[in-house]
Chains A and B, each alone.
Chain A
């Protein structure tokens, strides 16, 4: 018996160790980037910085935040995210509500038509041509409209609405509400949590979006953060304006600057994530059960 319990604790130890490694592998890259980005040049170049900043300074951040093109793209990203989330929520929730009502005509047919798009699409070029034909290339609309409904989110929301007790809707009807009234007065107020969840999914995907700007934006003034980040870090472009000038005058560790840029663009997500995590999980579960 004694041996048995020891065996369990050994297993528990190994298990905990493995999971601890998973945690380190996940978190350490962020710690490393954060630490490098606030450390002194000399220590970074000597490769002495690993866990704790040495020669702490915020020079890189003042450079990054002082760069006009970065600020512009930051503003663009915020606009696309806020505006896009708003539009996506309106269209998705209204559509999901209609589909959740079994008395809507052709309800089944439309659901099938929507689910089919998860398995087959026209592809990159025809989609591009549609956006082009609409004349919204190089406008905010190109960032906002092509992703306004995600089929996955639509299905999750439909499930949310379908779970609202029928009695509530019937009592609403008795009080003389039409379907619009039922939606705005009953369904929406009851689904604040689901709006928060789906809104978050949309907001994150808009914040991180790289595909749409790559395809639909040509004008650098309109580039969101992700495109700028890619140009700086992956395509090796130098920053415009201030950063390059200062870079010419004094020594800049390119690495630290890049890490600082990555941190700046990821920070909003890292900061809000711990508080909103439970909403994400809830959404993912509902999607999984019904999808």
Chain B
């Protein structure tokens, strides 16, 4: 009996000993890299304060948060605000708008840079190619406010240049920005105008990595331009396409709050009001912090599921994934 106990104690001693040694090791390492830590400190503080502290702030969605009481003192209310959101008559509308806008944006906005990159890749004249590239990257650096202003002014029924053009085609006589059925088209078109050119950069880089021998071989086999495109070019940039697709699917629900906020107005809420803008109005404008946070978290979690699902699928099917 006592022998057994001795054995036990000895073991504990050993474990303690090892722990002390590894602690020392850790301390030594820490000491060795103390200046690196010093360099990293501001960055760490940034992430803790501006990224992780808000994540803990999510707790207010389970409380009746009151600015004066603070997070600690506010009373717990459980799932109240989540239930409130699900029972909200606007719930379906908001979900539909967010999802549809994201899906349309993906469906039209995702292929656009691929097409443009392939077209650019076919250009033999290098000066012309560089010129088109330089020009098409430009809108990416223009602010959302300016782009939205341009859209609104160009579509204005009083002298907007696009409005005249649409009228010429017999498409619109009314104020496009005031009509819910136009909102998604306008939004997606402006997104493509703004970002498609810039997004070609990655594809163009991927296109240069395709081995020219493959094209020569395809020529030998008598493949035409489109067969070469289908059998050499597109497979060559497939991994790039898949990775970007995953990233974009993950972002389907994170449609830019800013752009929608700048383009929409009460007349187009029917199709334009998305979760992000609703959260802004309910939370920051009306001051219903807990409710807005609950909505935001709900959306954030669905968004996270989207990313994970997209990544899992692509790992299974295409052997490509971002982690």
Taking beta carbons and an 8 Å cutoff, which residues of A are in contact with B? 8, 11-12, 15-16, 18-19, 22-23, 25-27, 29, 32-33, 44-45, 47, 90-92, 94-99, 101, 103-105, 110, 113-114, 117, 119-130, 134, 145-146, 148-149, 154, 178-180, 183, 204, 207-211, 214-215, 226-227, 229-230, 233-234, 255, 258-259, 262, 265-266, 269-270, 273-274, 277, 280-281, 284-285, 288-289
Contact = CB atoms under 8 A, between A and B. Distances in A.
A119 B40 contact: no
20 contacts: A16-B125, A27-B135, A44-B159, A90-B42, A97-B36, A98-B36, A98-B40, A104-B37, A114-B47, A117-B52, A119-B304, A120-B304, A122-B51, A122-B53, A123-B296, A125-B293, A126-B58, A130-B50, A149-B46, A255-B159
A113 B52 CA distance: 9
Contact of B159 (A47, A134, A289): A47
Given A123-B293, A130-B57, A23 B43 contact: no
A280 B134 contact: no
Contact of A105 (B33, B57, B159, B262): B33
B283 A98 contact: no
A28 B257 CA distance: 27
7 smallest CB-CB distances across A and B, nearest first, come from A122-B54, A95-B43, A126-B57, A208-B143, A123-B296, A179-B35, A98-B40
A268 to B, nearest CB: 10
Interface stretch (B86-94, B115-123, B166-174): B115-123
B119 A119 contact: no
Interface stretch (B14-22, B148-156, B179-187, B312-320): B148-156
Contacts of A119: 250, 303-304, 307
A91 B42 contact: yes
B46 A23 contact: no
A8 B119 CA distance: 14
Contacts of B258: 210-211
Contacts of B30: 105
Nearest to A27: B135
Contacts of A146: 50
B215 to A, nearest CB: 14
Given A91-B43, A273-B138, A11 B225 contact: yes
Nearest to B292: A125
A96 B123 CA distance: 38
Secondary structure of the B side of the interface? helix
B39 A233 contact: no
A226 B42 contact: no
B122 to A, nearest CB: 5
B205 interface: yes
A262 B146 contact: yes
B83 to A, nearest CB: 18
A234 B148 contact: yes
A33 B47 CA distance: 41
B136 interface: yes
B29 interface: yes
A240 B131 CA distance: 41
Contacts, number: 247
**Residue among B128, B143, B283 with the most chain A CB within 10 A?**
B143
Contacts of B257: 124, 211
Contacts of A265: 143, 146
A97 B39 contact: yes
B76 interface: no
Given A11-B225, A288-B205, 10 more contacts: A15-B122, A19-B123, A98-B43, A117-B52, A119-B250, A125-B57, A130-B54, A204-B141, A226-B143, A234-B149
Given A234-B262, A281-B137, A94 B149 contact: no
Contact of B296 (A12, A33, A125): A125
Given A148-B46, A230-B145, A95 B202 contact: no
Contacts of A226: 143, 145-146
Contact of B49 (A90, A130, A210, A233): A130
A214 B260 CA distance: 14
Nearest to B280: A124
Given A234-B152, A284-B201, A123 B33 contact: no
Contacts of B4: none
B3 interface: no
A179 B39 contact: yes
B52 to A, nearest CB: 8
A57 B255 CA distance: 41
B272 to A, nearest CB: 14
A255 B53 contact: no
A19 B153 contact: no
Nearest to B49: A130
Nearest to B48: A113
**Residue among B26, B153, B296 with the most chain A CB within 10 A?**
B153
A242 B294 CA distance: 46
Contacts of A47: 159, 164
Contacts of A234: 145, 148-149, 152, 262
A134 B48 CA distance: 13
A129 B53 CA distance: 10
**Residue among B50, B124, B128, B132 with the most chain A CB within 10 A?**
B50
B139 interface: yes
**Residue among A44, A120, A125, A270 with the most chain B CB within 10 A?**
A125
